[in-house]
Amino acid sequence: MAPVEKLICAIAVWLYVTAGASRSVSNKLLRALSYLTATIFTVLGVALTSLGIAIEFPTINVPRDVRTAYKRHFSEPKIKRTMCCPKCFHIFDCPVNQIPLKCRFRKSPQSFECGASLWRTQRTRKGKKKVPACLYTTQSFKAWLRFFLSRKVIDDALQKTFDKQVNAPVGIGSQMNDVHDSPAWRDLYGNSQSPYNLVFGIYIDWFLIFKMKIAVGKKASCGVISLYCLNLPPHLRYRPENLFIMGITPAPTAPDHFTLDHLLKPVLDEVALFGDALGVAIPTFLHPEEVFVRARIAPVLADSPARSLISGFLGHAAKYFCAFCKCTADQMGSLDLGDFEPRNGTEVKADALKWKMTVTKNRKETLEGKNGIRWTYLHTLDYWDPVKHVVLGFMHNWLEGILEHHLRVLWGVGRGTAHQKKADEMDEEGVWVEEDRLESESELSELAAEEYTYQASVASPSSFVSAASLPPSTNISRTPSLNSEASGPSDSGLAQAGAVPQELAASSTSTLRTGLGREGSAASNSTLRDEQESDDEQYIAVPEAARGVYSLPNDKLLQIRECIRDVTLPTWIGRPPANLGEASHGKLKANDFWVLFSCILPLVVPEFWRADSPFESDRLQIEGFHNLVAATNIICSFKTSNAEADAYTELYVRYREIIHHLFPYWPSRPNQHWAMHNGDFLKYWGPLPPLSEFSGEHIIGMMQNIKTNRKLRDMDYTMLHQMSRRQHVEAALQEENALKPLGDILFEDARPSPGACSKKMSGFEQAQYLANGTTALHSRDYYTLLGYLQATGRPYYSIEDQVLIRKDTRILPPYVRQCTSAIISERTYSTRTSHEGNSAILYYDQFTQRFFTGNIEAIWSLPLDASVHTFFVVRAHEGLPDGEAAKAPFDGFDRHYCTRIVDAAPSNQIHILEEQYIKSHLSTYKRPYGTYGIARETLVVCWALNRDRR
């Protein structure tokens, strides 16, 4: 009965370490299951005895405590607790009798000792005793690596990654699907090739262990230091059972740049043993006799404060705030990275060593102020490059940085208290608001028309043209223009329309437009304005494109909220709050910003501002937004290339040019400068989503939910112990033969797809499948499916064909199972009548070799070639005629905007396809008659959800 006892223990342990059940609840479950199984065997024994069968069942020895159940069937992680100073975290890894009463660490030879008490008095049943005041909890890297490599799924994945690099290497500059294809991957080990040359990204962050649920005076934080094996494919890389938690920093305070090195030293020293030429011999699943394993750490994955702290650079408030170039705070708004000298890893290490060897604290501060560099224990790793091996996490930098800033600060949707206070102060100072801008631009348009009529009359009095004769579309704005190719009526277009001569259009606009460029061109613009003011007593000063504190008007905000409410989304996408901008919905998550800017706002914002607007600021608003969305879709993609990286940089620089012009009162921020380097990261590390901080934040959330005794001195140990136990339990449930059926139940994330049957079916099984729950296909549908099969090279015949029936003759059955949904890559795809959001898809037609958008009308499942196959019947969206499509702005946007407009009425075009041709879901938004001037109902569709995953 050992298997039964093991299953009972596994269920209770899983509830305890994974599902969050308390120890008392888990213990009760053990006793209840023990009683239940004993009763079943007793009843079974009585029944067999009544039949004359004498049998005695063995007793099932189920432990009464879940901790005993764990120790009996699962391996214990090797966790070490080392005494450290509660103030400076100096480690005392020595015999107890050699540890002083107070910490003697000095930040420099001439500074004072730390002086913190290393011991405290604890009351016990046997009286008072001295115990360490603070303990640092770490996990053995070597012991974890033995557990990690002993698993078949890990060893197979490492071998698969290695084989791909050897047999199908990616050329320099080609498309990169993961970090394995990047130049950074090739640089880490050079020509040394082995599936056991491991690369670990290091993640570090601090979190509130009590969340935000208790009084301010009770808040305490811990820090987690973890490693992710980048050799694994993305679907395994960030699973909880595959990460290594190196240690958890003691509560309640976070370390600073001096004290963090004390915590990094013991964990990095152990990993450094695996970084030499040979590595360390470790048994693996495929090599139980041991094989040499090497390990290197790169890159750093963290938010900006933690990234600066662990990598040895100063934070965002410093003069030299950038870890990647020598940009200073006063140059933050510059849009040309060529203006700044890039940092060099060798130089950074040399400067960091100088900082470390500097004797006094004041001199250290002076030195770091000159270059923005400090020493960090990562510099002890020979292969570590402090510039190349630091990645800007796109979650904090882009989603919660650039996008949040645009929504909340620039547009004023849910603007924070500090920014709103600044906005109110500027309004009180008489800064122009939106209504003033519109009135000013209207007056400027009239003045431009008057100027033209005057110049025309001077040039040719006989051919004088009155101002009233100018069509409205020829209004010339004196607000700064980006360039001659900016959105809106071009100079050449005006000339061709007969409104103004070509020569006059070129000369007048060069004089009237100040020319929007990078920060630094303001001097020439002000000079031009001074000259105009001195020459013309009636000169009306032109404000900057949006000189004033812009806030998105209420009518536009209501349109966005309406879109959030009505847009169709698949079920796996969380819908942002419909009361966007109100404090009641709480803080938006990073994923909310991605959903908003990738697949909701692109559907509705083009209705706010038109590219052919007579007002320059309107044209800039829509161009800036379109550039931001396109750049977002590039940086959030799971595939990239050098060309894509260059496209991102061009779009982002253009976006920053525009916001500098529209919102000059909001100064540039460090995040905006750091994002200028994302193009370099894409070229060197490949796509950024596989290197994001999402998984680290997920682990922190899991640790915050672990039940503890709320005693600060023990919480770090409890969290690390429970997380490590969880890894061992989940690995066993998914890989051990005796426990895998139970694991399939406990870790089932989604329903199986209909017909997701890979095993071969016998003739009887196929007949049974067709006899239960199937319906007859309509004759039209039957022959459509038959034509698809024949066109794809599968020689099936219809049931009406007069053919000689042989053993290998393939007859298409007329019966199918009509399914309402199917699972593809853990996403649910449904028919339109079942769930409209799950039915809208982007797909590829293999016959025309084109991409289409449409809705799934039906899903058919039937056995073919001794296995079940699923077919999707899709009705394509009907495109608009060219004349009507041109009225909407989408065709003029960059291709990375990923949005188009189609007819809302269903088309007659039907495609049959299989799951490999479905690329992604869509977000769709139905628009009424007259939107964009189109005389019919339309549908705006966006395929940014794809992110190049399929």
Q: Write the pLDDT tens digit of every residue in 103-124.
A: 999 988 888 899 999 999 988 8
Q: Are residues 648 and 793 in the same domain?
A: no
- What distance in Å separates the CA atoms of residue 134 and residue 590, rounded to the nearest whole number? 35
* Pairwise pLDDT comparison (370 vs 471), residue with the higher score: 370
205: in domain? no
Tell me the average pLDDT across 45-52.
87
Tens digits of residue pLDDT in 323-369: 999 999 999 999 988 889 999 999 999 999 999 999 888 899 999 99
> Is 557 part of any domain?
yes
Contacts for 849 with CB less than 8 Å, ≥ 6 apart? none
Whether the Cβ atoms of residue 150 and residue 141 lie closer than 8 Å to each other: no
> Is 594 found in the same domain as 648?
yes
Q: For residue 910, give the H/E element and its range.
A: strand 910-913
Is residue 875 in a domain? yes
pLDDT (tens digit per residue) in 899-915: 999 999 999 999 999 99
Q: Which of 44, 73, 102 is the last residue of a domain?
A: 73
Reading the block at residue 347, the tokens are 């130089």
Indicate whether 854 and 919 sit together in one domain.
yes
Who wins on pLDDT, 379 or 93?
Answer: 379
Tracing tokens 């290490």 back to the chain, one arrives at 349
Rounded Cα gap, residues 604 and 556, in angstroms? 9
Residues 659 and 643 in one domain: yes
* pLDDT for 677 beyond 60: yes
Q: Kindly state the average pLDDT of the residues 852-870.
A: 94
Whether residue 64 sits in one domain with residue 87 = no
pLDDT at site 147: 96
Confidence band, pLDDT 50/70/90 cuts, at residue 477? very low
Which of the given ranges, 261-275, 420-434, 750-764, has the highest pLDDT on average? Answer: 261-275
Q: Are residues 767 and 840 in the same domain?
A: yes
Task: Identify the pLDDT of residue 231.
Answer: 96
Q: Which two tokens mark 180?
A: 């394995």
For residue 500, pLDDT over 80 is answered with: no
Model pLDDT for residues 769-820, shown as the tens digit of each residue: 888 889 999 999 999 999 999 999 998 988 887 665 666 678 899 999 999 9
The span from the CA of 948 to the CA of 950, in Å, is 6
User: Are 17 and 65 found together in one domain?
Assistant: yes
Q: What is the pLDDT of residue 443?
A: 57
Give the residue among 227, 235, 231 at the shortest CA–CA distance from 189. Answer: 231
Is the four-CA dihedral 212, 214, 216, 218 of positive or negative sign? negative
Model confidence pLDDT, tens digit, residues 715-732: 899 999 999 999 999 999
* Coil, helix or strand at residue 248: strand
Contact 913, 936 (CB under 8 A): no
Q: How far apart are CA 483 and CA 361, in angstroms?
A: 51
3-state secondary structure of 882: helix
401-429 as b/e: b if 16+ CB within 10 A: bbbbbbbbbbbbbbbeeebbebbeebeee
The 8-class DSSP code of residue 614 comes to S
Query: Span 759-764, mean pLDDT?
Result: 80
Q: Is residue 7 part of a domain?
A: yes
Let me know how long the chain is: 950
Torsion of CA 340, 342, 343, 345, to 10 degrees: -170
Of 46-55, 560-569, 778-787, the poorest mean pLDDT is in 46-55
Query: What percent of the chain shows pLDDT beyond 70?
Result: 84
Higher pLDDT, 214 or 53: 53
Structure confidence at residue 20 (pLDDT): 87
Q: How far apart are CA 778 and CA 791, in angstroms?
A: 20
Residues 6+ apart with CB under 8 A from 192: 294
Nearest to 228 by CA among 802, 902, 698: 698
371 occurs within a structural domain: no
DSSP line for 299-350: EEE--HHHHHHHHTB--TTSSS--SSB---GGGTT---GGGSPBP-HHHHHH
Q: What's the token pair of residue 624?
A: 């800036």
Residues 888, 896: Cα–Cα separation, whole Å:
17
Flag whether 48 is in a domain.
Answer: yes
What percent of the chain stands above pLDDT 90? 63
Residue 869's closest CA among 822, 833, 836? 822
Phi and psi based region of residue 808 (left: phi greater than 0; alpha: psi -120 to 50; beta: remaining)? alpha
For CA atoms 816, 817, 818, 821, the dihedral sign is negative
Q: Averaged over 389-414, what is the pLDDT?
A: 94
pLDDT classification of 212: cutoffs 50, 70, 90: low
Q: Are 584 and 643 members of one domain? A: yes
**Mean pLDDT along residues 847-859:** 96
Identify the pLDDT of residue 818: 95
Q: Would 562 be classed as within a structural domain?
A: yes
Residue 603 lies in a domain: yes
Q: What H or E segment, with its residue span, contains residue 796?
A: strand 796-797
Residue 118 gets which letter from DSSP? -
pLDDT at position 512 over 80: no
pLDDT at position 760 over 90? no
| 933 and 874 assigned to the same domain | yes
**Predicted pLDDT of residue 123:** 85
Backbone angles phi, psi at 213, to 5 degrees: -100, -5
* Amino acid 908: pLDDT: 94
Model pLDDT for residues 406-421, shown as the tens digit of each residue: 999 999 999 988 888 8
The pLDDT, as a whole number, for residue 132 is 93
Do 579 and 648 share a structural domain? yes
Q: Of 670, 43, 7, 747, which Cα lies nearest the Cα of 307? A: 670
CB contact set of 772 (below 8 Å; sequence gap of 6+): none
827 SS3 class: strand
**Residue 136 predicted with pLDDT over 70:** yes
Task: Assess whether the previous peptide bond of 195 is cis (omega < 30° from 0).
Answer: no
Joined tokens for residue 525: 């613009």
Which of 769, 760, 690 has the alpha carbon at shortest distance from 232? 690
Q: Which pLDDT does position 603 carry in this prediction? A: 98
Euclidean distance between CA atoms 623 and 621, whole angstroms: 6
Q: Kindly give, in sequence order, each residue whose CB lies less than 8 Å from that of residue 293, ignoring residues fewer than 6 positions away.
A: 145, 149, 196, 198, 274, 279, 280, 281, 282, 284
Q: Please determine, for residue 540, whether its predicted confidence score (pLDDT) is greater than 60.
A: no
State the pLDDT at residue 142.
96
Q: Which domain holds residue 19?
A: 1-73
Q: How far is CA 371 from CA 310, 351, 352, 364, 365, in A?
A: 17, 8, 10, 11, 10
Q: What is the pLDDT of residue 521?
A: 38
For all residues of the chain together, what is the average pLDDT? 85
In this structure, is the dihedral angle defined by the CA atoms of residues 171, 172, 176 and 180, taken in order, positive or negative?
Answer: positive
For residue 650, pLDDT beyond 80: yes
Among 100, 119, 135, where does a domain finish?
A: 135
Measured between alpha carbons, how far is 686 from 176 in angstroms, rounded to an integer? 6
Quote the pTM value.
Answer: 0.85
**Number of domain units in the chain:** 4
DSSP per-residue string spanning 211-229: TT-S-GGG--EEEEEEEEE
Residues 672 and 815 in one domain: no
Same-domain status, 857 and 921: yes
pLDDT tens-digit map of 605-617 = 999 998 888 899 9
CATH of the domain at 811: 2.30.30
Beta bridge partners of 902: 879, 939
* 406/412 Cα distance (integer angstroms): 8
Domain end, chosen from 624, 658, 687, is at 687
Looking only at the bridges linking them, the beta strands covering 923-927 and 938-942 are: antiparallel
Instruction: Give me the pLDDT at residue 261, please.
Output: 93
Beta bridge mates, 225: 204, 247
